[in-house]
Structure 1
Amino acid sequence: MPASSTVRRVWALDAPELTVDCSILMLGTGGQEDTIPSPSFLVEHAEGLLLFDTSLATSGAGDPAAAYGPLADAFKISIPEHCRLDRQLESIGCKTSDVRRIVLSHMHFDHTGGLDLFPHAEGFIGAGELRYARTPSSLDAGFFREEDIAAAGKIAWNEVPAGYDHDMFGDGSVVLLSLHGHTPGTLGLKVRLPDESTLVLTSDAAHKRANVEATTGMPFDVDRLNKNASLQKVKLLRTQPGTTVWISHDPRDWADFRPDNGEITSAAELNRAAAQA
């Protein structure tokens, strides 16, 4: 089997949303609100399905306060019924039990809400991330949800050391990127699509394109020095030919790169989505 055929497709699953002041997303900004997606990405590989991040809790669909209490109003959380992670998987013909591997970028609540759906999966997480989530600093303690930490405790995790990029299947098609700094174990994902182009998913190593362009983080980064180094790493990845860097929370990237059906097999589909945006 040619190496390039091992990733068959990627789905950008339709995303719940949060609405926040821009000052939360980037230092030195503020005064207006941004509505940002909270996505999950499903990767189909010859070795099975892999899910990158799990978005917001299905129990909050239609009534975010039922899952998030005061956070629902503070972040103006919106979880339409069709954006439930389990229903997103069903819409493309999958069940939660079909997902064999979970890659968690970090433990903030907008990435961990669906962990309870995957106790059977093999997990991959940045070193120290789960330990930090249980005893966070006061800086970002409000971003961790006890229910998600409990769900994470039922998953068998493999830890990815800081500074190490892990080739998931040994064929170069799916690589876990160490992008720590936002939290101690923040991870990104690099995927080689069937047409040999590369898709990089940054998660919260950056929140907006401007973070990368200015090498400037956000107020709740726990390690400013390593966060800046991770932003520089993302900036370098953007210079590689045939590479698309998708900043998960950036509404422009969501609008520009996501095809209508969410299914991605080539750079042409990413470019076509951008042209139509």
Structure 2
Amino acid sequence: MPTSDGETIILPAPSPTQTYVTVSALDAGHITLPERLFITDADPQKKRTVPSMAFLIQHPLPEPTNIIFDLGVKRDIESYTPAQHAHILQRQPVTVHPDVTDSLQKGGLHPSDIHKVILSHVHWDHIGTPSDFPNSEFFVGSGTQHILAHGDGPYYPAELFHADELPANRTFEFPPTANSEPGKASEQQIPHTWYPLAGFPAVIDFFNDGSIYIVDARGHMSAHLNLLLRVGPKKWVYLGGDCCHDPRILTGEKGIAMYDDGRGGVRSVHVDLDSAAEMVKRVRLLMGEGRVVQQEKNGDRKEVVVEVVVAHDEVWRKGNAGRFWPGRL
């Protein structure tokens, strides 16, 4: 299976009957981030109001399937838990409109038209309003239901989540990877197999047609997911969720911040800093630090482009207004 060769990232070539997906960004609220908590060498007083973007992915065959990656901020801000409210007070100003439903309707879709929702993770600014999607199956990383009930380590305790946030009968976890914590996976799993691809240790071919790859992106949370999407013969899109919170970390201009944890030590915004830093290195290679190619059947290698978008990139948001639904990436 193509994966990597030194600094060359190898992606699989399109099949003769290759399916391609379309991707559209969705506005899904805005939050405000104190830079000192996210990037190194930050002005301790500086804050940035950034989007919490979602994405509409449309898969055409064998019948059209509408998928959303992440749901952004809840429309009803009062429905967050008291502990979430206390956290949100530190992220003001927060805007809830347009949310995902508003953004879909702008292009003529309704939440009832969405077949599947994939969540990168279940923090408050990505969970949105699942009840808006009555016909959708929800797909999450292994251990997510355990996180919603019990938290994800000391810095993300249970009170920062709703245990019943997702519809139990329509929510499916991807299977555990070799690095998953034992005993925390849900019994309601989908029968997929992880394998290495493009420098990532574990991906899943979601439709088994090389169009949508689920990437195990643990680091920010233990069940964090990214997506690698084939949008054209030589064009891919990588949706990085919260692999980092500032694009300058991806370019190498800044590093991941460490700050006082309130317990006599230091912490980052990630539950596993080493894994998060490793993810950043892998994504940088996709962005051009390495050579990205497709391995053709005859052994030739053709260079391809991978566009990387992370959830809170306000620079990308400002420069790509025409690529929000009904526009496309």
Report the TM range for the smaller structure's normalisation: 0.7 to 0.9
Q: How do residues 1-277 of structure 1 correspond to structure 2 at under 5 angstroms?
A: 3-7=17-21, 9-31=22-44, 32-46=46-60, 47-60=64-77, 67=80, 69-81=85-97, 83-136=98-151, 137-141=153-157, 144-146=160-162, 149-154=163-168, 155-162=170-177, 163-194=201-232, 196-214=234-252, 216-218=255-257, 219-239=268-288, 240=292, 241-259=304-322, 261-265=324-328
Distance in 2, matches of 1:143 and 1:111, equals 16
* SS of equivalent residue, structure 2 residue 202: coil
1:188, distance to aligned residue in structure 2 (A): 0.8
* TM-score relative to the length of structure 1: 0.82
Q: CA RMSD in A?
A: 2.6
**Do the aligned partners of residues 94 and 14 (structure 1) sit closer, same or farther apart at CA in structure 2, a change above 3 Å counting?**
same
Deviation at 1:183, TM superposition (A): 0.4
In structure 2, relative to structure 1, the CA distance for the partners of 1:26 and 1:130 (3 Å cut) is: farther
Contact 1:181 1:222 in 2 (8 A): yes
Q: Percent identity?
A: 21
The letter of the residue matching 1:253 is W
Structure showing the higher helix proportion among its residues: 1
**Aligned residue pairs, count:** 258
- Pair member with larger Rg: 2
Q: Is this contact kept in 1: 2:51–2:312, CA < 8 A?
A: yes
C-alpha distance 129-208 of structure 1, shift in aligned 2 (>3 A): same
Does the 8 A contact of 1:52 with 1:104 survive in 2? Answer: yes
Runs of 4+ in 1 over 6 A off after TM superposition: none
- Shifted more, 154-163 versus 123-132: the winner is 154-163
Query: In structure 1, what is the Cα distance between the partners aligned to 2:93 and 2:159?
Result: 13
User: C-alpha deviations, 1:48-83, integer Å up to 9, x for none?
Assistant: 0000001111223xxxx56564444321143354x1
* Equivalent-residue separation in structure 2 for 1:134 and 1:217 (angstroms): 28
State the partner residue of 1:275. none
Separation in structure 2 between the aligned mates of residue 144 and residue 264 of structure 1, nearest angstrom: 34
Relative to structure 1, is the Cα distance of residues 143 and 91 closer, same or farther in structure 2, using a 3 angstrom cutoff? farther
Deviation of 1:172 (Å) = 1.3
Deviation at 1:88, TM superposition (A): 1.6
The alignment partner of 1:193 has SS state of strand
**Alignment gaps of 5+ in structure 1:** 267-277
